[in-house]
Structures are given as structure tokens and as C-alpha cells.
Amino acid sequence: MKAICYTDDRSLEVREVPTLTEPAAGHVLVDMEAASIMHGDKFFLTHPLPNGTWATALHDIYGTNGAGTIAAIGEGVPERYLGRKVAICKALKPSAETTGVWCERAQVRYESCLILPDDLQARDYSGSFAHIMTILSFLVQAKAEGHRGIIVTAGSGATGLIAASLTRRLGVPAIFLVRSEASRDDLVGRGIENVLLTTEADFPQKLQDLAARLDATAVFDAVGGELIGDMIPALPNGGTIYVAGIMNALAPTTFSTMHVVEKNLTIKRFSLLETETVLDPEKLDAATREVEALVDDPLLRTKIGKEFPLDQIDEAMKYNSSSWARAVLVVR
């Protein structure tokens, strides 16, 4: 089968690799329909994972997020997965037998799959599962750490739209930050409330007033960079910034540490794979079933910018969109 594989120097190339026909125990074989190119897919080609290692996969096949139909199930996999459309985040449950998903047929742990309703198009969720689980696990952790309301940077991006969907359903007060008037108008047009434009001169004061009113003390930061410095003076006492994104991670930020001291602020890394929601098998199963029940919300769909066949991987990796849309590799 055709697959996009990583090389020793961390570049990518299209290869012919053996087609898997018998899934390993606990695994499923997925006939891939589409796979999204995430920011992390680009970043981790040149940077190690948080634990200092490189991700490895069977046959060196690359890619973490995609969607397709399960063709076969291994020993121990619940029968309800067979033949179903699924969205995949293979990083949720890695194994030595797991392949990447940038290929015609992938092998992943069944716990890395989200069963989709039959009437949905699988490719519309080819980059969704990781983001949905990220926001859901963040909400669980923030609540457990004493926070009631949240602030979401990159409000018009994938995690922002998903956060809008989940907070609305769960009754969590939320503020969404965007960088352009067009993004603000788009969110407001979708019925999303509490949208703030970060480029306005009075943004810090608006954020301070709204965060105090909504008791929004947990920040999900998917951007990094100077926006953190802009937010810190406006955050309520006891606020925590959960740094989750790498979009602008290499850009420096400036703020007075007196704000941290006076307001008892915390800044720390947030990683989906380190959350109790993912590390506890029972909680992961419960969260996945919860997501299955709400995945039909249009806000949870992957925003597709341009589609590419597998043999155009170089062009696909260069694709960038100002509207947070993704390059998607289409297999069939």
C-alpha cells in the first residue's frame, strides 16, 4: 500500500509498504479516507516530543489524526467497532504495533478511535478527535483545580470552536479571543457570546471586566507568544494559564512578575496525553462515549482548507491558511 513515511533525517517520502491484513490484539485496521496535517505534525519533525524522544511507528508511517472505516478488529476489541466510520487520534493510545495514519490502511489501538454516526462524512472529522479530547480533558482538569469559567485564545480556530460547543452544552462560562474583526463576526454569527478582539486598544480592560464578571480564571492558550503578556495584567486573582499550543510558541512574551505575585497566577504546560482523562482507561472510555453522543455538532467538524493526494505531501506540508483551515490528505 501507499504510505507517507519519515526518514532518518526527519523528512517525508512516499513509499510502498506491506498492507496489513490481520490486526494485532487490541488494534483495528482502518481503511483511511482522509488525514489532517496538524501543526504538531510539522513541529515534531524538527523538535522532540515533550519527553525528549521521537515518535516511532510501524513501517515508519507518519501522521496522527485522520478518519476512515474499520475493516477488521483484533482480539479484545469490542464488536461495535467493526465496520464503523471513525475519527482517529493515534496518540491517545500508542503501541509498538501502531502505524501512522498517512496511508491507505492504518493500524491503531481501538481506544484511539471515535465512532462516528453513519450519516456523517468521515473526512469532515479527520482532524477533530484530538482537539475535542483536548478541550474536554482541559475542562475536566480546570474544574478539578478549582476554576469555574475559562478564557480561550485562538477563539476562531479548531479548539476555539470546539470549546464553544462543549462549554455551551456543559454550562461553563467562557470568553473567546480572536485577532480579526472577520473572526469576531464569524463567531458572533454562529451564536457564540463573549467574543473579544485582541487588537482593540481597550482589549485588556474589556478582558479584565468580563473575566471578573464570569469568574473566568482558567486560560486555555493555544497560541503562545506575546498574547500571554497582554492577558496577564487583566486576569483575575488565582488565574492559571494552561499553555497548550505551539502556533506562536517561539515568539517571546513580556510581563511583570509582580502581576504573578500580586494575583497568585500560575503558568504551566497543558498536554492532553498527560491528563487523567487519557491516562485512566476507564475515564478515557467514558470521555470517548460522551463525545460520541455530541459529535454531530457542526462546530466539531474539521475546517478543511485544501485537499491533497498522498503523493503531493510536499505541497500539502507547505499549505497555510489565515482562517485556521487545514491541509487534508485524501486517500479515497
The structural domains of the chain, with segments of one domain joined by +, span 2-128+301-330, 131-274
pLDDT at 249: 67
Q: How far apart are CA 87 and CA 222, in angstroms?
A: 22
Among 295, 326, 316, 300, smallest CA distance to 62 is for 316
For 49-82, b where at least 16 C-beta lie within 10 A, e where not — what string?
A: eeeeeebebbebbbbbbbbbbbebbbeebeeebe
Among 102, 159, 121, smallest CA distance to 316 is for 102
Our CA angle for 71, 76, 81, nearest 5°, is 35
Name which of 71-75, 256-260, 314-318, 322-326 the model is least confident about: 322-326
Mean pLDDT of 93-115: 96
Residue 151 pLDDT level (bands cut at 50, 70, 90): very high
Residue 248 pLDDT level (bands cut at 50, 70, 90): low
Residue 185 pLDDT level (bands cut at 50, 70, 90): very high
Q: How far apart are CA 265 and CA 257, in angstroms?
A: 9
User: What does the chain come to in residues?
Assistant: 332
DSSP 110: G
Q: Name 71's Cβ contacts closer than 8 Å, sequence gap at least 6.
A: 29, 30, 31, 105
Grid cell listed for 296: 454531530
From the options 3.30.460.10, 3.30.70.240, 3.90.180.10, 2.130.10.10, give the CATH code of 2-128+301-330.
Answer: 3.90.180.10
Q: Are 6 and 300 in contact (CB under 8 A)?
A: no
Question: What angle, 0 to 180 degrees and rounded to 10, lies between the N-to-C axes of helices 158-170 and 129-144?
Answer: 50
pLDDT at 39: 84
| CA-to-CA separations, 320 to 91, 109, 316, in angstroms, rounded | 23, 30, 9
pLDDT digits (tens, 9 = 90+) for 121-135: 999 999 999 999 999
Mean pLDDT of 318-328: 86
Mean pLDDT of 286-303: 94
Q: Where are the alpha helices (DSSP H) in 128-202?
A: 129-144, 158-170, 181-189
Cα end-to-end span (Å), the chain: 13
| CA-to-CA separations, 279 to 54, 66, 95, 276, in angstroms, rounded | 20, 21, 14, 5
Look up the pTM and report it.
Answer: 0.93
Q: How far apart are CA 100 and CA 58, in angstroms?
A: 7
Average pLDDT of the chain, as a whole number: 93
Q: Name 251's Cβ contacts closer than 8 Å, sequence gap at least 6.
A: 224, 225, 226
pLDDT at 186: 94
Name which of 7-11, 229-233, 239-243, 301-305 the model is least confident about: 7-11
Mean pLDDT of 99-112: 97
pLDDT digits (tens, 9 = 90+) for 14-68: 999 999 999 999 999 999 999 999 988 887 787 665 554 556 788 999 999 999 9
Q: Are 309 and 330 in contact (CB under 8 A)?
A: yes
Q: How far apart are CA 65 and CA 35, in angstroms?
A: 6
Q: Say if residue 225's pLDDT is above 90.
A: no
Q: Domain 131-274: what homologous superfamily? A: NAD(P)-binding Rossmann-like Domain (3.40.50.720)
Q: How far apart are CA 156 and CA 26, in angstroms?
A: 36
